[in-house]
Structure 1
Amino acid sequence: MRGVLWRVRVFAGQFGLLAALVLAAGLLITAAPRLANDLTDRALREDVARLPYSARDVTLNGQPDPRDAAPVGPAQAALPVHRDRMPAPLPGLVSESWFAAGVEGAGFAPAGPRTRFSLRTQAGMADRVRMTAGRWPENGPQVTAVEVAVSTATAEQLGASVGTILKIDPATGVGAGAGLPRVAIVGVFEPLDRADRAWDTLRLALVPFPGLPGIPEVPPAVMPVTDGPGLDAAARSLGPVSLSWRYRLDETRLDGGSLQSVINALSEVKRTPPAPGLSTSTSLDGTLVRFDGQLRAVSALLAVVQAGLVATLLGLIGLAAALAVERRREEFALVRARGGTIAAIGGRALAESLVVLPLAAAAGWFAGSWVPGRPAATGGLVVGAGVVATLAIPVLAAASQRRLSFTARRQDLVRHRPSVRRLTAELFFLLIAGLGAYLLRRRGLSPDGSVDPYLASVPVLLAVGAAIVALRIFPWPLGQLGRLAARARGAVAFLGLARAGRGAPVTIGPLAVLVVAIATGIFSGVVMSSIGEARDRAADLEIPADARVSGYAFAPAVTDRLAAVPGVTAVAPLTVDPATSYTTAGGITSTVQVAVVDAAALARVVAASGTGVPLPAALVDARAGRGPVPALVSPDVAAEAGGRGVATVRGYGYDFTVAAVADTFPGVDTASGRFVVLPRQALPDPTVIAPDGFFVAGAASPEALRAVAAEGAAADVTVTTWAAHRRDLDQTGANEVLSFTFTTGTVGATALALLAVGFTVLAGARIRGQVLSRLRTLGLSGRQGRGLLVYELVPLVTIAVLAGGLVGVLLPRVIGPALGLSSFTSGAAVRTALDPLLVGAVLVLVAAALAVAVLVENVINRRMRLGEVLRVGEEGS
């Protein structure tokens, strides 16, 4: 054991280099998935947290038994019961829950127009308000007038105060025989915290809706609140009670590991509610499904990038082990000459490796385990990397001594014609790589969503295959360059290209490592630029303007008022009826999404905003007439309509003819694949269809647009700029994990590529030192010596960049169907896009690689004392 430790100390530099590479491999394998998991969990929680309550909460809706005279109390008691009956893991994720009940009616305020009336009660409301006048309602079992409380804003809109009696008509004929209920205002309140989530479903109770002047179909609306007995009493006259149990899922308890189980549980509770007669309302499962699609895609990308980096590190470990064996070649030959067996040489090297390298792998795993994030099942990969590194020197040492040799072999000569056995192995390897890529395109992602080792290995196989092909192709052009250099003045270029042409340092080991590293980095950059280009197209389709104003039932004058806002150059109104009906020419009626857009105005908006989205001329040029209006329809609708049909929008039917067919249309959600787009300017009376939104071109302030639009809207108004929407595409979902993957791939591949060049210089340092020492005696200067190294390495770096770049650019196209990248682009197809900055970065990498090579060479020459290399190098010959 003492001898083993002594040899480890003597060759500390070689073992230290191997240990550093093994530690880096263990750290990468352990830390990268943990960081990705941490970013995934944070992104998931942020996505869920920004959802509105109607989308993220699980709400159970139902109606009580008509025979139950007082249903509110028992229904409130069922709040924890329904929670516990939901499928796992949902009960453990619930952080808050609310019970609410309500009835609808239509009332006449003491001074004001007819008002839409709804009465609500919710558990715990009395503790969340401050009474500014009167008291909180206290209804008994036999009430003659239902006591209610209203907010200050509601009291002002109704012109009512404490003691006012409201006459309420039932919304349906249910309570007509029971007499009209008398509702007494006994209190006026202000909420203690308007941001309290308990008020999410009661916003109308805090801020009443004033109605739209001049539009009788959109009257004012108020929501007084009462207690449970008061609602029971009101229900006897106003009609059936609507019950709801709302459960808030705590986003801090969600993580990517439990994502699929939560999705399955939400789907199950929607199919089978906790009690008969209930229905479940939530769209959280849809959000989680979309996130899961992104997570699967980014996991596949990370697996590809990590496999490329780990393969590069293992290749560097192999180069470092080969360098260590070469430095100890005379030692192993001497042991062999003294009667040592090949097994003894391998065991001697194994004992030395066992002292250092397993500890380095364990240190890398331990350091990676401190990185924040959920642990990933990568312990086996760390063990595998440690085993490969530990066996590298023993295997190579044993292989180098298969034949006893007492003379030093010439390291400046290589065999140009490979054996038939090697050519067969290379062809078989290329066949496996090509077959793997073909099968991967056919199969797609792993069905269970886990990390797919097959997907991760195919890009590495393709990169190594490209290195093999490049190694067989490059001698001919290199020979031509050598002939040109022989005719030129000076011997540096000729000598450098001649050495490169004889295989120094362009061999399969360094070349394969460089190609894998460069392919991984370029693949990361190409995917990043391709996704960015697809997101630009997706943003253009969703907002083909500088801004989009969204709401509901805008007044007709809003279009002109928006056009008058400073900075606005064009406005196009849009109305979307997401689920209406249309009738085909054959009389078949089905559900479809109908959009009404002023196509001529939209063309002006698109031109002014510069989005460049093409619009069909049939819609843009359409004008009002007596015949059917031209329409753009989706392919599914075109196959059904038979050339024409009747579309219903807000109760109005319009005959249309199919003038254009397209998979998408700007501003229209085409996920369902069933839509009809009608030109608003061609309708007989477009003013009867109130716009739901507007596309605006110009540099107007979003606040100014919102303020103008809010004056004539029946609902909250939102303004989304193109830039903000494009930014959201980069920041929502699993995009942080995607950015981390790209950064890891580009930075890691660049660092490892430079390291591979350094190893290549180290591998040929001894023989190169001899050559330089001889040439120095012939008058070679130090500058020319560095030029000789550059000429030797330029072919290696050039071939690696060309082969790795070609693989990196083609990989997204080859394995794209297995990655699911469209989940990051709102469904827009991801096309291969090459960023010019990436080309510049590759050129910088080439220059940096040559600079690193020269720097390493200078350090080696100083340590070897170049003037003595000729004598030292010839001692063993």
Structure 2
Amino acid sequence: MRRVRAYSGHLGLLAVLALVGALLVSGVPRLENEYTDRGLRADVAGLPWSTRDLVFTASSGLVAKTPPQTARGQLSGYEKRLPAPIPGLVEDRWFAAESALRGAFISGPAPFTGNCRPSLRVVDQSGAASAVRVVEGRAPASRGVAETMVSRDGARLGGLRVGSALTIGADDGVRTPLRVVGIYEPLDAAAARWEPLASQRLICPVPDDGFTFDVALLTDDPGVTLLGQGAGPLAYSWRYRLAPDRLDASVVAPLTTAVINARRAPVDPDLKLNSTLDAELSEFTARQRSARATVAVVESGLVATVLGLIVLAALLMTDRRREEYALLSARGGTARRAALRTLAETALVTVPAVLLGWLAATLLPGRAPATEARLLAVVLVIAAGVAPLLAARSRPRPGRTSPRPGPRRLAAEVFLVLLAGLGVVLLRRRGLQDEVDPFLVVVPVLLGAAAALVVVRLLPWPLRQAGRLAARGRGLVGFLGLARAGRSAPLSAGPVAVLIVAAATGVFTAAVSTTIGDARDQASSQLVPADATVTGFGFAPDTDKLLTAVPGVRAAVPMLIGSGVTVVPAKGMQTQAQLLVVDGSRSTHFPAALSAKAGTGPIPVVVSPAIAAKVGAGGRIIIQGRRYDFRVDEVAGSMPGLDIGAREFIAVPWAALPVPDFDPLVPTRYLITGDGFDPEAVRVAANAGQREYYLGLLNRTINAGATEVTDEQLPRLATVRTWQQERRSLDESGVNALLSFVFTAGAAGSVLLALLAVGLAVLSDAPGRGQALSRLRTLGVSRRQGRNLLLLELAPLLAVAFVAGTLVGWALPRLIGASLGLDAFTAGIPAVVGLNPWLLLQALGLLLAGLITAVAVETTAHRRMRLGESLRLGEDN
């Protein structure tokens, strides 16, 4: 205990680093698991019910031999027989017997009298009677006639009311009566049970007839049985909803396997599973696998830096106690005794520190990592065991020139450099793996260590040459600073390695974050090539005036997008492509060819490589019923305004199309430019333009006397999507919160650890520099010259270390990018690591911070040394 109190500063530093190491290997993985689990739950909760829920449908044979009451009784039995872990994850379940009635076979009062009649789905859903409130009429009680009730919304869309009597005609000529006896409101309209019963808009069989609706009605067991006997076969479905709050990343793999097995071998041979949940889980697993690889590189860099700092702290402590170990050896003490003596001290402080770090980590949210115990043991062994090993060995005095490295050491260093290079080659060949293995974790650290070895071997020579040049000058500070830097560089392999790994970790996180952010910006700009886009069914030609009348909107550029447009090449067979028509002169996002004006000859167009291979130099295209000759002016791999995955498209300049005034092009989208506009106001203005267009269409095709069109009559309501919304949606996928946390923690942690490494490197040789500085002050060297001497001694080493770390961190995504799978986070845009000027500024800022830290630590250390003591400090007895 006396020795612990005497060396409390050194042992305290060792304890703090051990605590940080324990918190890092135990706490950070817990937070990673928490963010991953949150992302998984959010992704699953946001899926549509048809994807998220496990829905089993019955074959016609099972329906024919099983009445609805019996089928409902299988709801719990089927659930218990599902593969694990599905039964433990189910939070709710429903059975539904449904009769789908096509509008063509329904007769009754309007709107069941025209050419395009509403379609009905009559459903008997388990538990529905207790989940509704009848607001008009009564609940169904079918006897001879199928009785139903409809929601308020369904009654309005389908033109139904209490007392509506319909007749269902089957294919065999049988007529089945159907009566609406009640109107209901759900007790909880947002409940999951109502999702399959939502009304849907349907396009009429003849598109010129407009559209209609599909409406769901509720009935009872006798009612659905009557419909099954007269109106056609029923459909049975057993629906199981999984609870998102019971999901975590550890169950994704077994759950995916269970869903696949439930599809391949259902609990009943007559059942079929209709769900794509396994595909969604597989996509999440792919994104998680990529995120886990990136996180592993960042975390390995931080852990390696902390462990390196522990070694530096142990070196600092044993350096200060050389005289003690020499006296112990003179009195007959063995190396084993010195090691055990030191182990008793380090274990006394590091064991509680590691336990305290682990206890602090348990307070954090998230699941404990599977490797927690092993990683904590590694931290404890290194924290408690390095100092005893160093105490058992003799070490050269710091500040003196070390002997030239022997053949074994050189061979080991060359082997390490070659091993790092070989590791990069193997990682690139292997690509992204299903699980993070130690190989991916070790290679980035090996690259940092190899860079450190190269630096400390190559740096002394240019420093010596600079020192010889400085010796010819009149100043003393430059010569002494460079001379000491040249002599001490070979002794700084440990601090340099720690600095390079820390700097590389920080730059790696910044480079990856910038790469992903730039790719997402590019993806957002392709999907929304303006401040916002307005999409609809069709707009009147003067809709741009309505849009620009909205406060904050400066311009509205019309765009026409169509799919399956016929393209006839000059030679060869005709093909189809996705069409985009826009005036490129009114936007900076499009190729110059789309700015062409009307003229003679074929229209210049931009096509994708796939279309270019099919049409050659040109051909003919049909746009809204008109034929236009075109020539290929440019080939582009992507086109703003189209989906990122679009591979067969043709883009046409709007202003180059000769269109008569009486029959203009009908835009389906507008590009909005502006700032501070209200998206809802833009949407209202766009719907006004759609109503004007649709009213003209009705007057020409269906109802010449129509004078008004409501929003509900529009085939498609306008939607507004801003660039910020698109960009934000790319950041809100399941693993993005994990990436954001890791990038922030990696950047901040690497900076703090790098500065701590600088401080330890300065402290390790502070006595030697203090002794030299004290002697120089007796010769007239001022305090300012002393600080300059320190800067000249440390600046080259720190600069080279930070530059090397920056280069390693910037190169890592390029070197091992195949093992990271960054394309999983870029919305389909290839992840390309560029040279961002911010990386250089960050490296420069880190260098300046390191120099400031070095001066501050050195100044603090020297203040604790008086002149006489510093003259004698470290001298041999």
TM-score w.r.t. the length of structure 2 is 0.86
1:264 and 2:257 aligned? yes
Separation (CA, whole Å) in 1 of partners of 2:213 and 2:601: 38
Counterpart for residue 139 of structure 2? 136
Separation (CA, whole Å) in 2 of partners of 1:657 and 1:230: 63
1:243 to 222, 228, 236: 236
Residue correspondence of structure 1 range 333-352 to structure 2 within 5 A: 333-352=326-345
Separation (CA, whole Å) in 2 of partners of 1:626 and 1:383: 78
Counterpart for residue 404 of structure 1? none
**Paired letter, 2:864:** R
1:573 to 557, 560, 565: 560
Separation (CA, whole Å) in 1 of partners of 2:23 and 2:809: 25
Separation (CA, whole Å) in 2 of partners of 1:713 and 1:786: 77
1:116 and 2:118 aligned? yes
- Secondary structure of the residue that 1:303 maps to in structure 2? helix
Counterpart for residue 295 of structure 1? 288
Counterpart for residue 325 of structure 2? 332
Q: CA separation of 1:256/1:341 partners in 2, compared to 1, >3 Å: closer, same or farther?
A: same
Q: CA deviation at 1:63?
A: 4.9
1:103 to 100, 105, 119: 100
1:199 to 171, 182, 194: 194
Contact 1:574 1:693 in 2 (8 A): yes
TM-align CA RMSD: 3.9
Counterpart for residue 728 of structure 2? 727
Contact 1:44 1:255 in 2 (8 A): yes
Counterpart for residue 380 of structure 2? 386
Contact 2:460 2:490 in 1 (8 A): no
Q: CA deviation at 1:37?
A: 0.5
Contact 2:541 2:664 in 1 (8 A): no
Q: CA deviation at 1:427?
A: 1.1
Counterpart for residue 464 of structure 1? 449
1:737 and 2:738 aligned? yes
Q: CA separation of 1:588/1:674 partners in 2, compared to 1, >3 Å: closer, same or farther?
A: farther
Q: CA deviation at 1:46?
A: 1.5
Provide the identity percentage: 42
Q: CA deviation at 1:287?
A: 2.9
- Name whichever of 418-427 and 759-768 sits farther off: 418-427
> 1:425-470 CA distances to partner (integer Å, 9 max, x unpaired)?
21111100100111011112333x2x32111110111111111111
- Name whichever of 20-29 and 708-717 sits farther off: 708-717
Q: CA separation of 1:485/1:718 partners in 2, compared to 1, >3 Å: closer, same or farther?
A: same
> 1:470-496 CA distances to partner (integer Å, 9 max, x unpaired)?
112222332343234334443223222
2:75 to 69, 79, 88: 79
Separation (CA, whole Å) in 2 of partners of 1:628 and 1:260: 53
Counterpart for residue 22 of structure 1? 18
Separation (CA, whole Å) in 2 of partners of 1:657 and 1:266: 51
Q: CA separation of 1:47/1:557 partners in 2, compared to 1, >3 Å: closer, same or farther?
A: farther
Contact 2:133 2:187 in 1 (8 A): yes
1:49 and 2:71 aligned? no
Contact 2:398 2:764 in 1 (8 A): no
Q: CA separation of 1:393/1:62 partners in 2, compared to 1, >3 Å: closer, same or farther?
A: same
- Name whichever of 560-569 and 480-489 sits farther off: 560-569
Counterpart for residue 704 of structure 1? 681
Contact 1:58 1:280 in 2 (8 A): yes
Contact 1:570 1:698 in 2 (8 A): no
Q: CA deviation at 1:158?
A: 5.5
**Paired letter, 1:422:** R
Counterpart for residue 438 of structure 1? 425
> 1:541-597 CA distances to partner (integer Å, 9 max, x unpaired)?
22233333456x5577796687566324212132447xx9999999999xx995333
1:353 and 2:338 aligned? no
Separation (CA, whole Å) in 2 of partners of 1:84 and 1:278: 15
Counterpart for residue 221 of structure 2? 228
**Paired letter, 1:186:** V
Q: CA deviation at 1:320?
A: 1.4
Counterpart for residue 714 of structure 1? 715
Separation (CA, whole Å) in 1 of partners of 2:529 and 2:477: 59
- Name whichever of 659-668 and 730-739 sits farther off: 659-668
Q: CA separation of 1:81/1:175 partners in 2, compared to 1, >3 Å: closer, same or farther?
A: farther
Separation (CA, whole Å) in 1 of partners of 2:188 and 2:627: 46
**Paired letter, 2:73:** A
Contact 2:61 2:270 in 1 (8 A): no
2:269 to 276, 288, 311: 276
Q: CA deviation at 1:119?
A: 2.7
Counterpart for residue 543 of structure 1? 528
Separation (CA, whole Å) in 1 of partners of 2:571 and 2:254: 45
Separation (CA, whole Å) in 1 of partners of 2:619 and 2:67: 48
- Name whichever of 493-502 and 752-761 sits farther off: 493-502
2:248 to 210, 230, 255: 255
Contact 2:150 2:184 in 1 (8 A): yes
**Paired letter, 1:431:** L
Counterpart for residue 597 of structure 1? 580
Contact 2:301 2:502 in 1 (8 A): yes
- Name whichever of 147-156 and 379-388 sits farther off: 147-156
Contact 2:606 2:636 in 1 (8 A): no
- Secondary structure of the residue that 2:109 maps to in structure 1? coil
Q: CA deviation at 1:758?
A: 0.8
Contact 2:500 2:805 in 1 (8 A): yes
Counterpart for residue 320 of structure 1? 313
Q: CA deviation at 1:504?
A: 5.8
- Secondary structure of the residue that 2:560 maps to in structure 1? strand
Q: CA separation of 1:769/1:659 partners in 2, compared to 1, >3 Å: closer, same or farther?
A: closer
Separation (CA, whole Å) in 1 of partners of 2:173 and 2:163: 26
Q: CA deviation at 1:330?
A: 1.8
Counterpart for residue 468 of structure 2? 483
What is the aligned residue count?
838
> 1:304-352 CA distances to partner (integer Å, 9 max, x unpaired)?
1111111111211111111222111122222223333333333333333
Residue correspondence of structure 1 range 214-225 to structure 2 within 5 A: 215-225=208-218
Contact 1:69 1:232 in 2 (8 A): no
Q: CA deviation at 1:723?
A: 1.1
Q: CA deviation at 1:177?
A: 1.7
> 1:202-239 CA distances to partner (integer Å, 9 max, x unpaired)?
2219xx88989993052354433322322232344433
Q: CA deviation at 1:627?
A: 11
Contact 1:585 1:641 in 2 (8 A): yes
Separation (CA, whole Å) in 1 of partners of 2:719 and 2:163: 38
Separation (CA, whole Å) in 2 of partners of 1:585 and 1:220: 44
Residue correspondence of structure 1 range 149-160 to structure 2 within 5 A: 149-156=149-156, 160=160
- Secondary structure of the residue that 2:720 maps to in structure 1? strand
- Secondary structure of the residue that 1:525 maps to in structure 2? helix
Q: CA deviation at 1:294?
A: 2.0
Q: CA separation of 1:803/1:564 partners in 2, compared to 1, >3 Å: closer, same or farther?
A: closer
- Secondary structure of the residue that 2:178 maps to in structure 1? strand
Residue correspondence of structure 1 range 741-756 to structure 2 within 5 A: 741-756=742-757
Counterpart for residue 391 of structure 2? 397
- Name whichever of 464-473 and 826-835 sits farther off: 826-835
- Secondary structure of the residue that 1:507 maps to in structure 2? helix
Separation (CA, whole Å) in 2 of partners of 1:33 and 1:786: 42
Q: CA separation of 1:588/1:361 partners in 2, compared to 1, >3 Å: closer, same or farther?
A: farther
Q: CA separation of 1:731/1:416 partners in 2, compared to 1, >3 Å: closer, same or farther?
A: farther
Counterpart for residue 405 of structure 1? none
- Secondary structure of the residue that 2:237 maps to in structure 1? strand
1:127 and 2:130 aligned? yes
Separation (CA, whole Å) in 1 of partners of 2:663 and 2:822: 42
Contact 1:361 1:382 in 2 (8 A): yes
Counterpart for residue 37 of structure 1? 33
Separation (CA, whole Å) in 2 of partners of 1:562 and 1:59: 46
Residue correspondence of structure 1 range 650-799 to structure 2 within 5 A: 663-669=637-643, 671=645, 675-677=648-650, 695-699=671-675, 701-709=678-686, 711=711, 713-715=714-716, 717-799=718-800
Contact 1:18 1:317 in 2 (8 A): yes
Q: CA separation of 1:185/1:341 partners in 2, compared to 1, >3 Å: closer, same or farther?
A: closer
In structure 2, stretches of 5+ residues that fail to align are 688-710
In structure 1, stretches of 5+ residues that fail to align are 402-408
Separation (CA, whole Å) in 2 of partners of 1:688 and 1:146: 51
Contact 1:518 1:808 in 2 (8 A): yes
Counterpart for residue 166 of structure 2? 166
Q: CA separation of 1:369/1:656 partners in 2, compared to 1, >3 Å: closer, same or farther?
A: farther
Contact 1:514 1:753 in 2 (8 A): yes
**Paired letter, 1:596:** L
Q: CA deviation at 1:31?
A: 0.6
